[in-house]
Amino acid sequence: MYAVIETGGKQYRVQPGDTLLVERLEAPVGSQVELDRVLMVAPDSGPPLVGRPLVAGARVRARVVAQEKGRKVIVFKFKAKTRYRRKQGHRQRYTRLAIEEIQVGEVNQNGP
């Protein structure tokens, strides 16, 4: 079974046992988070459940493994012949998740 979830403006394909690096979530290391923006669930047997835009009642449970920082990106602005130079660095913060379970609620296949 796998699911397609959305978090931080990005979409990820996850299944139980995966580890995932997503944009920072406000949760301490070791805590559980529930991701409720599930766009699609594909069970092991049967047709996939596609949301409009979300699958009703579906949730993905994950455990926060670590809070990390990405690599440093240098932003350098420069204009020729005017002595204009600006250097700025940025490190994006990430949360590493371990996917534990995909829960599918009551699903009505006959209507929207």
What sign results for the dihedral spanned by CA atoms 63, 66, 71, 76?
A: positive
pLDDT digits (tens, 9 = 90+) for 2-18: 999 999 999 999 999 99
d(CA 47, CA 76): 50
Tens-place pLDDT, residues 47-101: 999 999 999 999 999 999 999 999 999 999 999 999 999 999 999 999 999 999 9
Q: What predicted TM-score, i.e. pTM, was given to this entire model?
A: 0.82
Residue 107's pLDDT is what? 52
- The band of 105, judged by pLDDT with boundaries at 50, 70 and 90, is confident
Matching residue, tokens 């990106």: 73
CB atoms within 10 A of CB 96: 16
106 pLDDT more than 70: no
> What pLDDT sits at residue 108?
54
| Res 42: pLDDT | 94
Of residues 97 and 45, the one with the higher pLDDT is 97
